[in-house]
């Protein structure tokens, strides 16, 4: 299950959880989509960290979720603006990023905070993720997120793929209008971006993408995709 939470500067943040583990319990106590709820919270991940903690907490309560991961697709300010506050609000959640992205977080020029507000340096995340690693929410395949290293927008940009539901969180690597993230910021590379887009094009064309800005699309609509 994917639920979008708007973030600062028109960024998309997403809550993701295994819908077969329970669709959650809304505030009025009625099951979601007619499915029964046993009252036990379901593990969820927050994709990117630019949403207000109070809003995230509200949605977690609405869908009867507990936050297990805060996963950064990359370290630009408009995707990590609320990271310190979220880490304090949800100390039980593990905040993770690609190892190379810790350098982006620390550098105000690379994380482009100086373009939005002021120079901000974020401390490195202790827990790093690697290409091909699988993050698990619960025990079923519906809660798995496979890490795909997709540098180009930043050195440590990544996408997250769930093969069972055929969905992918693409951050600022791939958008729904045929575009891709800027490569003219510090740490950007057109060569690496081209390689990353080629990598994504190997995934099935019917994979739904959830980008870091604007609307959703499919791999096939944007890149052709595999048959």
Domain boundaries, the chain: 2-223
List 171's β-bridge partners, or say none: 211
List 146's β-bridge partners, or say none: 134, 161
Starting at the edge strand that comes first in sequence, how are the strands of the sheet with 167-171 ordered? Answer: 134-136, 144-149, 158-162, 167-171, 208-211, 217-218
Give the per-residue pLDDT at 26: 44
C-alpha distances in Å from residue 222, one per residue of 21, 193, 195, 203 = 31, 14, 15, 12
The SS3 of residue 198 is helix
Ramachandran bin of 42, using left for φ above 0, alpha for ψ from -120 to 50, beta for the remaining angles: beta
Ramachandran bin of 124, using left for φ above 0, alpha for ψ from -120 to 50, beta for the remaining angles: beta
Q: Name every residue whose Cβ is closer than 8 Å to that of residue 162 and which is 6 or more positions away in sequence.
A: 16, 141, 142, 143, 144, 145, 146, 168
Give the per-residue pLDDT at 226: 78
Give the per-residue pLDDT at 227: 57
Starting at the edge strand that comes first in sequence, how are the strands of the sheet with 2-6 ordered? Answer: 2-6, 12-17, 42-47, 65-71, 94-98, 127-129
Give the per-residue pLDDT at 23: 46
Q: How far apart, in whole angstroms, are the C-alpha atoms of residue 172 and residue 158?
A: 9
Instruction: Supply the pTM of this predicted model.
Output: 0.92
List 153's β-bridge partners, or say none: none
Give the per-residue pLDDT at 178: 81
pLDDT along the chain (227 residues), means of 10: 95 95 49 52 98 98 97 98 98 98 97 95 96 95 97 98 98 94 96 98 97 97 85
Out of 3.60.15.10, 3.90.380.10, 3.10.129.10, 3.30.200.100, the CATH code matching 2-223 is: 3.60.15.10
Give the per-residue pLDDT at 31: 42
DSSP 142: G
Through-space distance between the first and last CA atoms of the chain, rounded to whole angstroms: 25
Backbone angles phi, psi at 222, to 5 degrees: -95, -35
Give the per-residue pLDDT at 38: 56
């Amino acid at each position: 299950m994917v639920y979008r939470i708007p973030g600062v500067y028109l960024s998309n943040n997403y809550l993701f959880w295994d819908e077969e583990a329970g669709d959650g319990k809304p505030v009025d106590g009625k099951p979601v989509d007619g499915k029964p709820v046993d009252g036990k919270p379901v593990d969820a991940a927050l994709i990117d960290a630019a949403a207000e903690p109070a809003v995230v907490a509200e949605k977690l309560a609405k869908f009867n979720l507990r936050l297990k991961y805060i996963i950064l697709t990359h370290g630009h300010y408009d995707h990590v603006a609320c990271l310190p506050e979220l880490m304090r609000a949800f100390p039980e959640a593990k905040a993770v990023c690609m190892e190379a992205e810790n350098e982006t977080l620390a550098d105000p020029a690379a994380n482009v905070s100086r373009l939005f507000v002021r120079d901000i340096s974020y401390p490195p995340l202790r827990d790093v993720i690697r290409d091909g690693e699988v993050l698990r929410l619960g025990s079923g395949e519906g809660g798995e997120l496979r890490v795909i290293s997709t540098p180009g927008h930043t050195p440590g940009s990544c996408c997250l793929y769930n093969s069972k539901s055929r969905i992918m969180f693409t951050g600022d690597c791939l958008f729904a209008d045929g575009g891709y993230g800027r490569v003219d910021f510090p740490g950007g590379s057109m060569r690496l971006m081209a390689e990353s887009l080629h990598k994504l094009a190997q995934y099935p064309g019917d994979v739904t993408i959830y980008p870091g800005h604007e609307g959703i699309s499919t791999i096939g609509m944007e890149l052709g995709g595999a048959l």
